Amino acid sequence: MHIKLSPENLKLGMFVSELDRPWVESPFIFQGFRLRTVEEIQDIKDICYYVYVDTEKSSNNVQAYLSNAPKLQRKETRKKNVSSSTDKRSGISKSTTKLDRETIKKNVHNANVIRKKTREYVDDMLTKARMGKIIDTKKAKNLVAELANNIIENTDASVWLTNLKNRDEYTAIHSINVCVLSLTFGRALGLNKTQLNELGLGALLHDLGKMQVPLEILNKPGALNDEEFEVMKSHPVRGYEMLAKSNGLSPDALDIVKSHHERLSGSGYPAGLKNNEIRYFTKIVTITDVYDAVTSDRVYHLGMTPHEALKNMYEWAPGNFDLSLIQDFIRTIGIYPVGSVVELKTGHIGIVMKLNEEQRLKPILIMVMNRHKEFYAKRKLVNLASPIWEAKDNKPEISRIIDAKEYDIDVARIIQEDLITNQP
């Protein structure tokens, strides 16, 4: 049985099952816990008018008290930490203190609907490209416009889904991810809708020419020999030539397809372009292409963590990438990119689900493991930027980014279970 109590009537040993506000706004890691210290009771007094106590889960020493629990006493004079109005599109308030899980799930659902439609198109496009057929770029334009609008409305949901990777379906998923990441990056750079659509279209189609590369080379588990690498290097031109026949792509979009492997030093291919010979949109896609590639598991290597990828790409920038764009990309993706697995100083482990715009070091996490590295049966959200933490000595802070493989954490499965399955 659950009874409603004023914080003044709480005692050690009681099991608090529900607060009068979302758990994410509280300083408590656990969603439902037994009161063990007077400090925990004081924390509840500081933020709640009332709570619900589970009598069956409470300690035996308080059962007699609970059976004769006094009526709820509201004391509205106490100042509470309340959040500001919520932005319904993102599920988080402007002051980053309130998080609506259902709104976030709805946003991910909407992003996933568009992603599924895009995946169907990409699968069909790649099949036609392998057969040498003409590609329907009109449909691609419509899908990219939908993706762009969705990213403008809610960036994190689309980026979150780029973590749904499968090494056996790399080319199709990679094409979608590079498109999403490019649109996200382009929006942060201030591109308008028309520019975003051109950028996204080139990004979605950038690897089309790979369908003209023999599968034994494309999927070879080891390093390519010189002859095989020359064949692989032909894919940008092959893709460009196929798409040029459609007469539906702008010069910028076509250039992305043809030149996304060019490097500032002239060491890239197919033309060995240098510096300003490489178009601006192509420089953007070059960065997102490499980022998604190195963070993905492939038949010949395991992917890096997002944090490792950003660190390495910054170091690789001289001669390869535009340094100012790399810096902008790191700011866009964040120090703790969406999908990163992080360990708190308390020992708990969570996955970065959403960035806080004003406090980039304090993202919103889905908590997946306790301090003993045991998986939670029910995962809760924690907002590290909530003002409630400011006055606490034990406020959770990120200590390090870890590799999901270290604790056998399946990020894609958690995305599926927490944010996609049983959608409205």
| pLDDT score at 140 | 92
pLDDT band at 30 (very low <50, low <70, confident <90, very high): low
> Domain locations in the chain?
2-74, 101-333, 341-420
Mean pLDDT value across residues 297-325: 89
- Answer whether residue 269 shows pLDDT above 80: yes
pLDDT band at 313 (very low <50, low <70, confident <90, very high): very high
| pLDDT score at 390 | 58
- Answer whether residue 97 shows pLDDT above 50: no
Q: Which of the two residues, 199 and 108, has the higher pLDDT score?
A: 199
Portion of the chain with pLDDT greater than 70, in percent: 86
| pLDDT score at 391 | 54
pLDDT band at 291 (very low <50, low <70, confident <90, very high): very high
Window from 163-167, 171-175, 314-318, 370-374 with minimum mean pLDDT = 163-167
| pLDDT score at 413 | 87
206 dihedral zone (left: phi>0; alpha: psi -120 to 50; beta): alpha
pLDDT band at 84 (very low <50, low <70, confident <90, very high): very low
- Answer whether residue 361 shows pLDDT above 60: yes
- Answer whether residue 88 shows pLDDT above 70: no
pLDDT band at 74 (very low <50, low <70, confident <90, very high): very low
Please report, to the nearest 10 degrees, the dihedral formed by the alpha carbons of residues 77, 82, 88, 89 taken in order: 170
Count of positions (residues) in the chain: 424
Fold of 101-333: Hypothetical protein af1432 (1.10.3210)
